[in-house]
């Protein structure tokens, strides 16, 4: 007899099923980003408390000539960006690079076709000299295709301290995958938010207007919309912590009441005790020693370090 057809669970469904039936409860932050999550993150980046964006902007602006000189190669190069977003920061570099005699191609990789289409339109309008070839897909599937794409130098760009949303073991894995795709002459340029006054960090993830709260609670909304769940958002409190010893900021949603949640699509009932938490995100902060250690584990070494006036944030270049 044929086995009954079982419907494959999506990555989100698997994560929710596992994350809400384990203790402590946890759902990975990458699932915050649907259309609304993307919009809320854009709002976060525009908040005065969220210093990361302005710091990286300042670094790219102040060190633009030097950074472009490090990227440059007499035989031309491919500039591959993982998670380009709206490209606001990258455009600083692209503008300068397009004024150099060097031939380069800009290859932004993103999972969202929409984001890539918008980026392409705006680059073609603002910087018509830039050769842009968008690549839709998962970072590492696309990076793998580039391993022997051309024999030109590859410059891999990862802005926004996105690595900070990974635990150290995952970050090493991430760096190893990038490192594997690199040859001797290739370069990795990556942003890492730095350890600093704990109050400044807490304020960046705990804004008084509740944008970060709405961003975290978007996980609950997504479960309501996509998994026919019945979370009442008002029964959860967003709670942020920062541990200066480990450099880890952590976000939680804490249940204000004892409750039972039904997720109809998963045929799942979940009990939450009063004050029980769902862990939603880590935002790791670094210092040079930790970055050097992570890079070393991935067979990479630091070549240059660029920072802002207050040393809040750093962009590093790495080579194999």
Q: Which residues lie near ligand AVI (CB under 6 A)? A: 44, 52, 160-162, 164-165, 205, 212, 215, 281, 283
- CB of 186 within 8 A of CB of 155? yes
**Closest residue to ligand AVI using C-beta atoms:** 283
- CB of 298 within 8 A of CB of 175? yes
Identify which of residues 104 and 252 has a Cβ nearer to ligand AVI in the complex: 252
Q: How far apart are CA 210 and CA 197, in angstroms?
A: 22
The minimum distance between CB 263 and ligand AVI, in angstroms, equals 24
The minimum distance between CB 3 and ligand AVI, in angstroms, equals 41
- Mapping DSSP to helix (H, G, I), strand (E, B) and coil, where does residue 251 land? strand
The minimum distance between CB 249 and ligand AVI, in angstroms, equals 7
Both tokens of 297, joined, read 């584990």
Identify which of residues 90 and 98 has a Cβ nearer to ligand AVI in the complex: 90
Identify which of residues 161 and 312 has a Cβ nearer to ligand AVI in the complex: 161
Identify which of residues 138 and 257 has a Cβ nearer to ligand AVI in the complex: 138
Q: How far apart are CA 304 and CA 255, in angstroms?
A: 45
Q: Where are the alpha helices (DSSP H) in the chain?
A: 11-21, 35-45, 51-62, 64-71, 90-97, 113-126, 139-145, 168-180, 198-204, 211-226, 288-297
Q: How far apart are CA 70 and CA 175, in angstroms?
A: 20
The minimum distance between CB 164 and ligand AVI, in angstroms, equals 5
Identify which of residues 194 and 283 has a Cβ nearer to ligand AVI in the complex: 283
Say if residue 208 is preceded by a cis peptide, omega within 30 of 0.
Answer: no
- CB of 108 within 8 A of CB of 119? yes
The minimum distance between CB 170 and ligand AVI, in angstroms, equals 14
The minimum distance between CB 190 and ligand AVI, in angstroms, equals 12
The minimum distance between CB 150 and ligand AVI, in angstroms, equals 30
The dihedrals phi and psi of 26, each to the nearest 5 degrees, come to: -160, 135
Identify which of residues 144 and 162 has a Cβ nearer to ligand AVI in the complex: 162
Q: How far apart are CA 136 and CA 87, in angstroms?
A: 15
Question: What sign results for the dihedral spanned by CA atoms 49, 302, 63, 134?
Answer: negative
Identify which of residues 97 and 116 has a Cβ nearer to ligand AVI in the complex: 116
């Amino acid at each position: 007899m044929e086995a009954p057809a079982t419907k494959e669970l999506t990555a989100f469904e698997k994560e929710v099923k596992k994350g809400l039936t384990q203790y402590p409860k946890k759902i990975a932050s990458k699932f915050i980003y649907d259309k609304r999550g993307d919009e809320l993150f854009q709002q976060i980046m525009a908040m005065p408390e969220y210093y990361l964006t302005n710091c990286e902007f300042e670094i790219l602006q102040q060190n633009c000539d030097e950074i472009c000189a490090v990227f440059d190669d007499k035989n031309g190069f491919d500039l591959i960006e993982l998670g380009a977003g709206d490209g606001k920061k990258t455009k600083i570099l692209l503008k300068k690079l397009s004024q150099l005699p060097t031939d380069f191609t800009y290859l932004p990789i993103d999972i969202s076709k929409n984001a890539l289409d918008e980026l392409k339109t705006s680059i073609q309008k603002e910087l018509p000299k830039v050769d842009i070839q968008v690549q839709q897909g998962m970072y590492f599937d696309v990076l793998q295709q580039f391993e022997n794409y051309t024999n030109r130098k590859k410059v891999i760009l990862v802005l926004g301290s996105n690595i900070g949303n990974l635990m150290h073991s995952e970050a090493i894995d991430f760096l190893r995958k990038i490192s594997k795709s690199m040859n001797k002459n290739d370069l990795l340029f990556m942003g890492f938010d730095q350890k600093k006054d704990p109050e400044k960090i807490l304020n960046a993830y705990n804004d008084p207007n509740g944008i970060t709260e709405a961003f975290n609670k978007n996980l609950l909304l997504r479960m309501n919309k996509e998994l026919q769940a019945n979370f009442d958002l008002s029964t959860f409190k967003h709670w942020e912590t920062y541990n200066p010893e480990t450099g880890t900021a952590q976000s939680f949603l804490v249940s204000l009441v004892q409750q039972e949640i039904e997720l109809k699509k998963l045929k799942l009932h979940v009990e939450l005790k009063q004050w029980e938490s769902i862990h939603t995100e880590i935002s790791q902060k670094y210092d040079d020693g930790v970055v050097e250690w992570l890079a070393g584990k991935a067979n990479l070494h630091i070549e240059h370090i660029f920072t802002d006036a207050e040393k809040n944030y750093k962009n590093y270049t790495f080579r194999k």
